[in-house]
Amino acid sequence: MLTKQEISAYQKARSVNSNKLCHAPFTNLYFNTEGHVAVCWLTFYNPVVYDESKSLKDIWHDVKFQSIREHIGRDDLSKYCQTCEQHLKQGNHVNLLAKAYDTAPADVDYPSIIEFELENTCNLACTMCNGLLSSTIRKDREGKPPLKSPYGKKFRENLKEFIPHLSEARFNGGEPFLIQQYWPIWEDMMVINPAVKMTMATNGSVLNSRVKDVLTRGNIHLNISMDGFSKETYESIRVGGNFERLMKNLDYFIAFCANHNRTLCIMVNPMRQNWWEMPDFVNWVNTQNIRIWFNSIIKPEDQSIWALSPEKLQEVYDTLNAATINHKPSLCSQEVYEHNVSTYTNLVHNQIHNWLIDARRQEESSSDSLPTDKNFVALIRPHLPLNHDFFKLFPRLKDEQKKALKKAIHQQNVVFSAAQMEDMHQKALQEAIDTLVASK
Ligand SMILES: C[S@@+](CC[C@H](N)C(=O)[O-])C[C@H]1O[C@@H](n2cnc3c(N)ncnc32)[C@H](O)[C@@H]1O
Ligand code: SF4
């Protein structure tokens, strides 16, 4: 549970006065490509399942959501909202998802925001994405049959009752401008509630006359994803994307948004493949007078920054800390400049720095709890034939190799015990030993 101090530190840092730590369960519904509905994307592990027999009203009042509301009402994030609780405990208010729902009006009978992820149609196959969000990945990388959208005509009809109550509609995907079922929904919104803010999360690759037309007619705002500042990095992450085309489209989107008073934010995922380009991004968005946002890639781990070794995390931190963020260009507003600089400062000094501290702490505690060589061999003995190569090779390893092997065999890095070893997954043990034997 959160302490009084943690709660009050957040309340002080917050831009709104509210007795609720998070407004999402009182304001938002999020529909995903599997037909699951949640109050935000961090609570999909406990979804309400959409089917055409349920009205959207039934979903909004579902007991699962009522229970989340009751817990939030008691400042209890420990049951359903652990990621936000963790951020609040770390004092990381910048990456707190709850904040994204702070300003939306609450109405007991209707959501004021809906987030749509109705199907996975997408032309790209970004390395960190997956087949539930990209039809190209599903087909080419995962070799699976197409994902059928669970939302049919009835969904659109049902939605009409909700549209007058919306202040914002967020369209994700897939690639929104390629998702055919979004277009009639946009038309409905423009007729029923033309003021509704429609925010598109787009890869920026689709710009044709139909897109230009809907941008002009709807109150559309753009979050454009761009994970590389050089052609090489961009195209290696955003597989199927073309850097020159993106930059050309960005010229259009940026000018359009500036001239029509719409917001445009560049969304970047700092990852192992691009982290050193983050300062370039910040310096560039400042010259364009547009905002930047850094997402956190938690999975896949092998592309994430947080799961790097402490040594590598230190290098990432030192490099980004030493990088130069240029003075405010004359065309950039003070507000945008301050937003971008504080977003960067938060990435480096809060997020990456916290990951570094955690990695060091974990390394220290795992080294303390690793068994001695003698105990380790004794623990392995019941799992292998007596004449297995492991018993000859292990004594000849260097200390760091022994440590790596002990860690690999017991990845959770908790204290070894004979009982734990017994329970350990035989395959993991065999794989680690096979690697050791093969390396000799
Ligand atoms: C799934 S995309 C859909 C919208 C659009 N296709 C795009 O790329 O912006 C929405 C956002 O999720 C981000 N994203 C992709 N894979 C992610 C992952 N593994 N973890 C966190 N965010 C991810 C994308 O970079 C993008 O900003
Ligand atoms: S463009 Fe968006 S939805 Fe498509 S693969 Fe990339 S991140 Fe996923």
Helix, strand, coil % over all residues of the chain, rounded to 5 = 50, 10, 40
Gap from CA of 118 to ligand 1 centroid (Å)? 15
Place of tokens 């008073």: 261
The answer to whether residue 355 scores a pLDDT higher than 50 is yes
Residue 397 pLDDT level (bands cut at 50, 70, 90): confident
Instruction: Check residue 168 and give its pLDDT.
Output: 97
Distance 81 CA to ligand 2 centre (A): 26
Is any ligand 2 atom within 6 A of the Cβ of residue 125?
A: yes
Return the H-helix or E-strand segment holding 169: strand 168-171
**Rounded CA separation 253/259 (Å):** 10
Question: What pLDDT is attached to residue 272?
Answer: 98
304: alpha, beta or left? (left if phi > 0; alpha if psi -120 to 50): beta
Q: What is the 3-state secondary structure (H, E, C) of 44-64?
A: CCCCEECCCCCCHHHHHCCHH
Phi, psi of 115 (to 5 degrees): -110, 125
Integer CA distances (angstroms), 306 to 146, 270, 317, 360, 419, in order: 32, 10, 11, 12, 31
CB 143 within 8 A of CB 153: no
DSSP annotation of 267 = E
For ligand 2, pick from 130, 138, 175, 266 the residue to mutate: most ligand atoms within 8 Å of CB.
Answer: 175
Task: State which ligand 2 atom lies nearest to the alpha carbon of 203.
Answer: 1
Q: What is the pLDDT of residues 270-290, one digit of tens each?
A: 999 999 999 999 999 999 999
The predicted model scores a pTM of 0.84
Identify the band that residue 375 occupies on the pLDDT scale cut at 50, 70 and 90.
Answer: confident
- pLDDT value at position 227? 97
Ligand 2 atom closest to 238 (CA): 6
- pLDDT recorded at residue 333: 98
Instruction: Report helix, strand or coil for 133.
Output: coil
- Supply the pLDDT for residue 411: 53
